[in-house]
């Protein structure tokens, strides 16, 4: 495959006293196709990727990790899958051994994406992706302070323009993943709340159900008092009152959450087209 290319290496403020930055500087000086960018402070994986997208000039962009689990020899497979302009995004799918909690977290994220972004069942997002320049520009129109690549890709690209390509994964050669259990939990929550407002909607519906149920109970107690002449025990009416006002509060909080979600959507500066 004879094509012109550039390699953009992002140093997300590695905590090694500048060793990574100096090595990348030497590499970029010795190889003209290599460009390196040193970030002044640690921004996180997805922001660092956005930095690389902003500085890329190619018509096809490969996003990959630097831990060698994404094998460079598999790049031609992803690249060739976008030929013919039938697809704008090619996601590399591979199988690798992971701890139980990593597999569980991956399944949860895949489930959230499937429900929130209508991702086909059995498909998921990985860190090895090839996208077109047009997709990259659309992704960067979003103004989110905490961008998530999977959300940006699926929100800017129709599903019929996305393909999944089977590739071979490599093994991590150095170090360990920076995603510990706590970070995985936080990442899962971020993925979920960024793609759907279903939790707040369910909260609203639950509050409405309690509210309507309390009205039914109050009417039932009133009919019992009118037609039987036997007033219900005091604690029953108290409980009905608590459910009545509690339902109103829960429903009100859910509706407030809906408005907050709309504000977040607007401040995210998502593209209109």
pLDDT in tens, the chain (273 residues): 578 899 999 999 888 888 988 999 999 999 999 999 999 888 888 889 999 999 999 999 999 987 778 888 899 999 999 988 889 999 998 876 666 666 666 676 666 666 666 777 778 788 899 999 999 999 888 777 778 888 889 888 998 999 999 988 877 776 666 666 676 667 666 766 666 677 777 778 888 888 888 888 777 777 777 777 666 666 666 777 777 788 788 778 877 777 776 666 666 555 544
pTM assigned to the model: 0.70
By the 10 Å C-beta count (0-12 exposed, 13-18 middle, 19+ buried), 179 is classed as middle
Q: Which residues of 217-248 are buried (b: 16+ CB within 10 A; e: fewer)?
A: beeebeeeeeeeeeeeeeeebeebeebbeebe
| pLDDT recorded at residue 269 | 53
3-class DSSP state of 268? coil
By the 10 Å C-beta count (0-12 exposed, 13-18 middle, 19+ buried), 14 is classed as middle
| pLDDT recorded at residue 165 | 92
* Pairwise CA distance, residues 134 & 155, whole Å: 13
Tokens of 115: 């429900």
Backbone angle region of 167, left / alpha / beta, with phi > 0 → left and psi within -120 to 50 → alpha: beta
Let me know: does 24 contact 8? Beta carbons within 8 Å.
no
């Amino acid at each position: 495959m004879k094509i012109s290319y550039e390699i953009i290496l992002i140093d997300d403020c590695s905590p090694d006293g500048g060793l990574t930055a100096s090595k990348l500087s030497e590499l970029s000086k010795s190889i003209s196709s290599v460009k390196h960018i040193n970030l002044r402070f640690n921004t996180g994986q997805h922001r660092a990727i956005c930095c690389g997208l902003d500085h890329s000039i190619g018509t096809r962009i490969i996003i990959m990790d630097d831990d060698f689990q994404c094998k460079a020899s598999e790049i031609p497979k992803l690249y060739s899958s976008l030929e013919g302009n039938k697809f704008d995004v090619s996601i590399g799918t591979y199988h690798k051994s992971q701890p139980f909690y990593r597999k569980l977290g991956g399944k949860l994220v895949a489930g959230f994406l499937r429900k929130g972004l209508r991702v086909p069942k059995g498909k998921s997002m990985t860190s090895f992706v090839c996208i077109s320049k047009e997709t990259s520009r659309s992704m960067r129109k979003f103004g989110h302070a905490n961008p998530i690549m999977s959300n940006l890709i699926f929100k800017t690209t129709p599903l019929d323009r996305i393909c999944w390509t089977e590739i071979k994964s490599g093994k991590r050669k150095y170090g360990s993943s920076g995603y510990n259990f706590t970070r995985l939990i936080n990442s899962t929550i971020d993925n979920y709340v960024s793609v759907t407002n279903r939790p707040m909607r369910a909260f609203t519906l639950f509050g409405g159900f309690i509210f309507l149920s309390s009205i039914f109970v109050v009417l039932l107690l009133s009919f019992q008092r009118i037609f039987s002449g036997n007033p219900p025990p005091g604690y029953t009416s108290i409980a009905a009152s608590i459910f009545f006002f509690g339902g109103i509060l829960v429903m009100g909080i859910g509706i407030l959450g809906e408005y907050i979600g709309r504000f977040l959507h607007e401040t995210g500066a998502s593209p209109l087209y």
